[in-house]
Amino acid sequence: MAGARSADEAARPHQRWPSAREGVPQGKALDISQAGPVCGYSTRVVGTNGYDETAGSAVAVITSGIPRKPGMSRDELLTTNAKIVKSVVKELVSRSPNVILILVTNPLDAMVHVARLVSGLPKSRVLGMAGVLDSARMRAFIAAELNVPGPDVHAMVLGGHGDTMVPLARYTTVKGKPVSEMMSKERLDAIVKRTREGGAEIVGLLKTGSAFYAPSASAVDMVEAIMKDQKRVLPCAVLCEGEYGLKDVVVGVPVKLGRGGAEQVVEYELTAEEQAGLANSAHAVRELCATVDRLMA
């Protein structure tokens, strides 16, 4: 797990960061540890190039994988990252059989599918970080538009982590007031569109990289909710087994997070249009997972 926020707001007293790059995790661990006296935390951070040091972990955040490169087909990206995730999950679970896995690797929903099959863990212990990030982007756009503090905005984005995501504008509020009462439908629709394209917008600006800080902060939000048993309801990619009318598909839905992982899927009342959007998103995820299964067979 990496990111500017992950050390100073971590819920755990001990973090272990495995990486294949010799010296890199050790150097980053030292750097973050030395920020502790200034930032007021005493988290012990250990960098390692192996997995043995991760034994007994309560939560593991998996970011391993490669970004899509110019000329690379979707199938090539799927195959490469699925193989990486499969290997990492096997190593982690063999040393921490009770671990809760949080996937960040893209294509997110398909990688959660792979991790679930490989790990053999209960569905409550295999989650994907997508909805927290997508919701954060929507909140940030609304906050900027209305000139209000970001934490005052609450939003929920469901569905797959991609163009078919379903931002629930009806459930979006600013200090408890529906956002629909504070901006026009046209402005809100524009923000919904920008939310769907949020990741691509950052990639387009950076040219040689992708989002880093917001995904890291979003992963930490999930880890804290689990480790502190907060019972917070956050949108996460999990296996649905009948919830929202969806069966045997990994998709982003509101989940109560606690020490048991994804302890409960919370079902919001959706309009026919929102339900159709979620079903369409789930269909896209199913097709992606079917492709992964075919390529990995």
Active site residues: 161
Q: Which residues contact 95 (CB under 8 A, 6 or more apart)?
A: 51, 52, 54, 55, 56, 57
Tell me the C-alpha distance between 253 and 158, whole Å: 5
DSSP character for 34? Answer: H
Tokens found for residue 196: 């769907």
Partners of 255 in the beta sheet? 234, 265
Tell me the C-alpha distance between 46 and 95, whole Å: 17
Q: Which residues contact 196 (CB under 8 A, 6 or more apart)?
A: 163, 165, 167
Partners of 250 in the beta sheet? 239
DSSP character for 69? Answer: P
Give 87-146 as a DSSP string. HHHHHHHHH-TT-EEEE-PSSHHHHHHHHHHHH---GGGEEE--HHHHHHHHHHHHHHHH
Q: Which residue has the tokens 């809100």?
A: 188
Tokens found for residue 264: 């409960």
Tell me the C-alpha distance between 110 and 119, whole Å: 14
